[in-house]
């Protein structure tokens, strides 16, 4: 039996998120077959198998963040390989010990504070002390600060001061702007409750890390009073993008109800057509085509506003918002205006499949010019979307349901949807916005207009 | 009167190319002298060059896997740049001294460094993998960007002062090559090297692999003006060569080096592409498109030389044999790397200063203590 421990996939990184497993228990693997994908602070990488044999167990779930050095997969059979058999790395308790953070097998991830950290004869990999702050009990968030393990942030003079005063930086809650330990924190700690000769040791500390937070998810009302989830990675990027957009571009939102019955019929006919065999056809495809058609008639909808210029691309990089395992992503189809209906269908299919697998490359998300968000897939009728940062328009496409609709003075069941959207009111005025949305609606009412 | 416009770009120069992407010879009047130089390479030589590229690629891929499996701290892939390197190192003469940066795996192997020695650097087992006195003039990898532009220039100036160049006999006159990339070309040291090389007519050729990306910054942004044109401004002879064409790389380097031996330093910009990441710490999907990579994949130097060899009548079985050999070498390397002791050599401390130094002694003690903390004898 062989266990593969998470190596440092970058340069001195201490943890990585398991993004996707490419193998399942029972699979046969060969040396250098890709086992899984992990995402670090720096990159998304594939990890190749160091062994051959049969996968016995995946030891970590997708979505979990694990410390470097944690066992992640167990493989049986095959020729024993030396990767995991080094005498340094064994013991069952290592997982718990690594909760303290900072363990690295390779690279030079653990730095600084050599004295306290490294002298620890009995444990496998030593971990920097992650003890809760010895600060006064009134301190509201000791857990949050210690959760980030690794080396405590502090400026060199502060480190020097801490060393001189015998204060362990690792054990302090930083109050600086970036969470760094300040001079005052050190002075306070030096005057505060005794720390046992100023040095804290080892990893017997309660490990209030992400993983314990993760464990709490299964039982929503158990665990601590509050769950604290570090904002990082994709979530951080989403947050920054949303805030930048919402507080920069004045959003104007408009909506219109549409009888999309003919769109539904058109989709049905396309599906039956031999030309579209093997191609996924959905109402979203017609919406995308309608958007491209309407942009051609109102080019400023597809623009970006800077304080000096309104930049109007003569192309459309059409973004499709996608809910992915890693969070919201908006990959875009480059030069979508040049694509035939069939090519567009293929492009949407490829883009959504890639996004759903969480394999969207960052370059695929850059330089978008207009976005469609298909909130209908969540059963919503409509909403006021936030513009994808740097774009002037986003179209929200709601669910399509049969509803009563008045046709020639009679109430009839029709396939009805709502199209709406938000637009950068600095870039475009109400008349342009309304005309654009009316154009999209007219195509959904009568797709034959696309022939125009 | 308005002054004339100052532009930041020169007219695009076509790189010297003897083999096109399909491995066919590119014949033209301008190419004739280059073909004449390339004719110094027999079919066997070309086959051997192909073998070196193949072995380097397999080695490179295996090392990348080993890094992802935690056996190396870092890996620096050279995939895509083997053509530029093989041409350059075959053009160098035995008496020449070569100063690499850290991506010149093929050049190191050609001069007798072993795969294990290269691996040792990236395992962190040694500062430098080999003793340059044992690798036929191949100096150690320079990890600090462009510092060796100065070391190599100084070394070349020394050769001249020693009278080991400039006698007019190319078979004995010594010369120096410095290898770096488009990113390093932005460093001050790189410019200073050019200034001194030109001023002192040092016997040196700067071989710059423009692989288009300085980590995530495109060379078109760092160098608004073609690099080889820039070198002309410093007073060096300069050429632009198709870096994925081993024959062109050979011919141009041979001529430049022989001129350098007689006191005319040169500069070669090899137009190539880094197919992989900058290092294993880098994720190129964040800054470049897969279309761009694909367009360069079609210009692969190994496939190109293989096509040429087939045209020259080399049997498919011979090429296949090289492939098998390269794969076996990589797999052997894997086995040896896994078996290698994990202990860090004391050498890394012993060669920092010639005399004992208190800080180094303290570091050595700390490391020993750290190793001992694992409980094993390590």
**β-strands A15-21, A34-39 pairing:** antiparallel
Is B6's pLDDT higher than 90? no
Do B189 and B279 belong together in one domain?
Answer: yes
Of all residues in chain B, what percent carry a pLDDT higher than 90? 79
Do B79 and B214 belong together in one domain?
Answer: yes
Is A117's pLDDT higher than 80? no
Nearest CA in chain A to B369: A119
pLDDT tens column, B249-273: 999 999 999 999 999 999 999 999 9
Do B239 and B271 belong together in one domain?
Answer: yes
Nearest CA in chain A to B285: A361
- Best CA proximity match to B308, nearest among B13, B53, B25: B25
Query: What per-residue confidence (pLDDT) applies to B342?
Result: 65
User: Is B16 a member of any domain?
Assistant: no
Instruction: For residues A308-328, give the mean pLDDT.
Output: 90
CATH number, domain A2-90: 2.40.50.100
A 10 A CB-CB count for B39 gives 10
Domain range for B227 is: 32-339
Of all residues in chain A, what percent carry a pLDDT higher than 90? 44
Instruction: For residues B3-26, give the mean pLDDT.
Output: 76
Tell me the two tokens of residue B365: 């003690």
Is A120's pLDDT higher than 70? no
Question: For position B170, which CATH number holds?
Answer: 3.40.50.970
pLDDT band at A269 (very low <50, low <70, confident <90, very high): very high
Delimiting residues of CATH 3.30.559.10 domain(s) in chain A? 235-451
Half-sphere exposure of A306 toward its Cβ, with a 13 Å CA cutoff?
4
Do B313 and B370 belong together in one domain?
Answer: no
Best-predicted range by mean pLDDT (A75-84, B119-128, B328-337, B364-373): B328-337
Tell me the two tokens of residue B144: 């600090």
- For residue B36, the Cα-to-chain-centroid distance in whole angstroms is 25
Query: What per-residue confidence (pLDDT) applies to B186?
Result: 96
Whether residue B281 and residue A10 make contact (CB cut-off 8 A), yes or no, is: yes
Compute the distance between CA of residue A297 and CA of residue A404 in angstroms, rounded to an integer.
31
Do B259 and B367 belong together in one domain?
Answer: no
Q: Domains in chain B: how many in total?
A: 2
| 3-state SS assignment for residue B258 | helix
Q: What is the mean pLDDT of chain B?
A: 92
Is A210's pLDDT higher than 80? no
Of B67, B69, B369, the CB nearest to A83: B69
In chain B, residues 309-348 whose CB comes closer than 8 Å to chain A: 334, 338-339, 342
To the nearest whole Å, the CA of A207 is away from the closest chain B CA by 22
pLDDT band at A205 (very low <50, low <70, confident <90, very high): very low
User: Is B18 a member of any domain?
Assistant: no
Is A270's pLDDT higher than 60? yes
Delimiting residues of CATH 2.40.50.100 domain(s) in chain A? 2-90
Compute the distance between CA of residue B60 and CA of residue A188 in angstroms, rounded to an integer.
53
Whether residue B369 and residue A4 make contact (CB cut-off 8 A), yes or no, is: no
pLDDT tens column, B140-178: 999 999 999 999 999 999 999 999 999 999 999 999 999
Query: What per-residue confidence (pLDDT) applies to B373?
Result: 76
Residue B366 sits at the chain A interface (C-beta within 8 Å):
yes
Residue A82 sits at the chain B interface (C-beta within 8 Å):
yes
Instruction: Identify the burial level of B70 via C-beta atoms within 10 angstroms of its C-beta, where 0-12 means exposed, 13-18 middle and 19 or more buried.
Output: buried
Query: What per-residue confidence (pLDDT) applies to A124?
Result: 38
Residue A47 sits at the chain B interface (C-beta within 8 Å):
yes
Is A5's pLDDT higher than 70? yes
Three-state secondary structure along chain A?
A: CEEEECCCCCCCCCEEEEEEECCCCCCEECCCCEEEEEECCCCEEEEECCCCEEEEEECCCCCCEEECCCEEEEEECCCCCCCCCCCCCCCCCHHHHHCCCCCCCCCCCCCCCHHHHHCCCCCCCCCCCCCCCCCCCCCCCHHHHHHCCCCCCECHHHHHHHHHHCCCHHHCCCCCCCCCECHHHHHHHHHCCCCCCCCCCCCCCCCCCHHHHHHHCCCCCCCCCCCCCCCCHHHHHHHHHHHHHHCCCCEEEEEEEEECHHHHHHHHHHHHCHHHCCCCCCHHHHHHHHHHHHHHHCHHHCCEECCCCEECCCCCCEEECEEECCEEECCEECCHHHCCHHHHHHHHHHHHHHHHCCCCCHHHHCCCCEEEECHHHHCCCCCCCCCCCCCCEEEEECCCEEEEEEECCEEEEEEEEEEEEEEECCCCCHHHHHHHHHHHHHHHHCHHHHHC
Residue B373 sits at the chain A interface (C-beta within 8 Å):
yes
Whole-prediction pTM: 0.60
Q: Which residue has the tokens 């995939």?
A: B79
> Looking at the DSSP assignment, which residues form a beta bridge with residue A28?
A54
Assess if CATH 3.30.559.10 describes domain A235-451.
yes
Do B255 and B107 belong together in one domain?
Answer: yes
Query: What count of residues does chain B have?
Result: 378
Do B272 and B358 belong together in one domain?
Answer: no
Do B214 and B361 belong together in one domain?
Answer: no
Of B282, B283, B338, the CB nearest to A81: B338
Do B154 and B281 belong together in one domain?
Answer: yes
pLDDT tens column, A367-425: 999 999 999 888 899 999 999 999 999 999 999 999 999 999 999 999 999 999 999 99
User: Is B57 a member of any domain?
Assistant: yes
B256-294 per-residue burial string, b: 16 or more CB within 10 A, e: under 16: bbbbbbbebbbbbbbbbbbbbbbbbbbbbbebbeeeebe
Do B244 and B350 belong together in one domain?
Answer: no
pLDDT tens column, A38-78: 887 767 888 999 989 999 999 998 888 888 888 999 999 86
Query: What per-residue confidence (pLDDT) applies to A12?
Result: 65
In chain B, residues 7-66 whose CB comes closer than 8 Å to chain A: 62, 65
To the nearest whole Å, the CA of B1 is away from the closest chain A CA by 30
Compute the distance between CA of residue A37 and CA of residue A20 in angstroms, rounded to an integer.
5
* Least confident piece of the model among A171-185, B83-97, B241-255: A171-185
User: Is B169 a member of any domain?
Assistant: yes
Q: Which residues of A touch B376 (CB under 8 A)?
A: 87-88
Q: Which residues of A are catalytic?
A: 425
Is B323's pLDDT higher than 90? yes
Do B242 and B352 belong together in one domain?
Answer: no
Strand segments, DSSP code E, in chain B are 97-99, 176-181, 204-210, 213-214, 217-218, 237-242, 266-271
Of all residues in chain A, what percent carry a pLDDT higher than 70? 76
Q: Tell which of B64, B68, B292 to mutate to test the A interface (max A CBs under 10 Å).
A: B68
User: Is B255 a member of any domain?
Assistant: yes
- Best CA proximity match to A254, nearest among A424, A442, A449, A443: A424
Whether residue B342 and residue A86 make contact (CB cut-off 8 A), yes or no, is: yes
Of A44, A47, A87, the CB nearest to B68: A47
Do B204 and B253 belong together in one domain?
Answer: yes
Query: Where is pLDDT greater, at A256 or A204?
Result: A256
User: Is B166 a member of any domain?
Assistant: yes
Residue A88 sits at the chain B interface (C-beta within 8 Å):
yes
Whether residue A43 and residue B378 make contact (CB cut-off 8 A), yes or no, is: no
Query: What per-residue confidence (pLDDT) applies to A69?
Result: 85
User: Is B146 a member of any domain?
Assistant: yes
Instruction: Identify the burial level of B180 via C-beta atoms within 10 angstroms of its C-beta, where 0-12 means exposed, 13-18 middle and 19 or more buried.
Output: buried
Whether residue A106 and residue B282 make contact (CB cut-off 8 A), yes or no, is: no
Under 8 Å between Cβ of A114 and A163: no
- For residue B129, the Cα-to-chain-centroid distance in whole angstroms is 16
| 3-state SS assignment for residue B99 | strand
Query: What per-residue confidence (pLDDT) applies to A79?
Result: 56
Query: What per-residue confidence (pLDDT) applies to A215?
Result: 44
């Amino acid at each position: 039996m062989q266990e593969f421990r998470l190596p440092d996939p970058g340069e001195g990184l201490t943890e990585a998120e398991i993004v996707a497993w490419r193998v399942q228990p029972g699979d046969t693997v060969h040396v250098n077959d890709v086992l899984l994908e992990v995402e670090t602070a720096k990159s998304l990488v594939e990890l190749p198998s160091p062994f051959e044999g049969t996968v016995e167990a995946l030891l970590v779930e997708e979505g979990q963040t694990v410390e470097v050095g944690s066992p992640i997969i167990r493989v049986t059979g095959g020729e024993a390989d030396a990767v995991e058999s080094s005498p340094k790395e064994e013991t069952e308790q290592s997982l718990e010990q690594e909760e303290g953070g900072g363990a690295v097998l390779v690279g030079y991830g653990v730095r600084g504070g050599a004295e306290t950290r490294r002298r620890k004869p009995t444990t496998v990999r030593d971990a920097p002390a992650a003890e809760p702050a010895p600060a006064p009990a009134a301190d509201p968030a000791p857990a949050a600060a210690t959760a980030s393990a690794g080396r405590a942030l502090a400026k060199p003079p502060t480190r020097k001061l801490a060393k001189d005063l015998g204060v362990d930086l690792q054990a302090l809650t930083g109050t600086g702007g970036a969470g760094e330990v300040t001079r005052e924190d050190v002075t306070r700690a030096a005057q505060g409750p005794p720390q046992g000769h100023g040095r804290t040791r080892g990893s017997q500390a309660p490990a209030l890390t992400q993983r314990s937070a993760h464990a709490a998810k299964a039982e929503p009302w158990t665990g601590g009073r509050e769950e604290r989830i570090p904002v990082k990675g994709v979530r951080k990027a989403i947050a920054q993008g949303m805030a930048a957009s919402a507080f920069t571009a004045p959003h104007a939102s408009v909506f219109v109800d549409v009888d999309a019955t003919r769109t539904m019929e058109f989709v049905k006919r396309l599906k039956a057509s031999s030309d579209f065999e093997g191609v996924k056809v959905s109402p979203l495809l017609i919406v995308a085509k309608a958007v491209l058609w309407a942009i051609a008639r109102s080019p400023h909808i597809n623009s970006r506003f800077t304080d000096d210029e309104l930049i109007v691309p003569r192309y459309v990089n059409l973004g499709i918002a996608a809910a992915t395992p890693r969070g919201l992503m908006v990959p875009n189809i480059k030069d979508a205006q040049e694509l035939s209906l069939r090519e567009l269908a293929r492009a949407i299919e490829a883009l959504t499949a890639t996004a759903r697998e969480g394999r969207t490359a960052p370059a695929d998300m850059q330089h978008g010019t207009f976005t469609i968000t298909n909130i209908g897939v969540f059963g919503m009728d409509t909403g006021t979307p936030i513009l994808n940062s740097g774009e002037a328009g986003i179209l929200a496409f709601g669910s399509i349901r049969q509803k009563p609709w008045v046709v020639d003075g009679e109430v009839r069941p029709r396939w009805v949807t709502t199209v709406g959207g938000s637009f950068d009111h600095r870039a475009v005025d109400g008349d342009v916005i309304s005309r654009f949305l009316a154009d999209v609606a007219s195509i959904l009412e009568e797709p034959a207009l696309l022939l125009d | 009167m308005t002054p004339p416009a100052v532009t930041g770009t020169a007219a695009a120069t076509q790189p010297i190319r003897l083999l096109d992407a399909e491995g066919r010879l590119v014949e033209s009047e301008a190419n004739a002298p280059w073909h004449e130089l390339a004719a110094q390479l027999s079919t066997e030589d070309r086959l051997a060059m192909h073998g070196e590229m193949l072995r380097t690629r397999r080695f490179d891929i295996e090392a990348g896997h080993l890094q992802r499996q935690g056996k190396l701290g870092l890996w620096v892939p050279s995939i895509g740049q083997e053509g530029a390197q093989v041409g350059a190192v075959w053009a160098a003469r035995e008496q020449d001294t070569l100063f690499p940066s850290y991506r010149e795996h093929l050049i190191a192997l050609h001069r007798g460094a072993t795969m294990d020695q290269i691996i040792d650097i990236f395992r962190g087992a040694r500062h430098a993998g080999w003793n340059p006195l044992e690798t036929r003039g191949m100096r150690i990898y320079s990890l600090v960007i462009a510092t060796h532009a100065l070391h190599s220039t100084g070394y070349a100036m020394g050769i001249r002062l020693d009278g080991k160049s400039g006698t007019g006999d190319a078979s004995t006159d010594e010369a120096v090559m410095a290898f770096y990339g488009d990113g390093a070309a932005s460093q001050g040291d790189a410019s200073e090297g050019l200034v001194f090389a030109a001023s002192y007519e040092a016997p040196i050729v700067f071989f710059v692999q423009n692989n288009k990306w300085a980590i995530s910054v495109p060379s078109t942004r760092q160098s608004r003006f073609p690099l080889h044109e820039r070198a002309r401004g410093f007073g060096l002879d300069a050429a632009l060569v198709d870096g994925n064409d081993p024959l062109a790389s050979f011919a141009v380097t041979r001529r430049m080096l022989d001129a350098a031996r007689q006191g005319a330093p040169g500069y070669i910009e090899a137009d190539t592409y880094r197919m992989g990441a900058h290092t294993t710490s880098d994720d190129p999907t964040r800054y470049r498109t897969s279309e761009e990579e694909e367009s360069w994949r079609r210009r692969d130097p190994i496939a190109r030389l293989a096509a040429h060899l087939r045209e020259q009548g080399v049997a498919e079985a011979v090429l296949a044999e090289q492939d098998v050999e390269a794969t076996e070498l990589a797999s052997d390397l894997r086995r040896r790397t896994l078996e290698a002791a994990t202990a860090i050599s004391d050498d890394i401390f012993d060669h920092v200063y010639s005399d004992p130094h208190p800080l180094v002694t303290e570091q050595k003690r700390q490391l020993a203590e750290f190793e001992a903390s694992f409980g094993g004898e390590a």
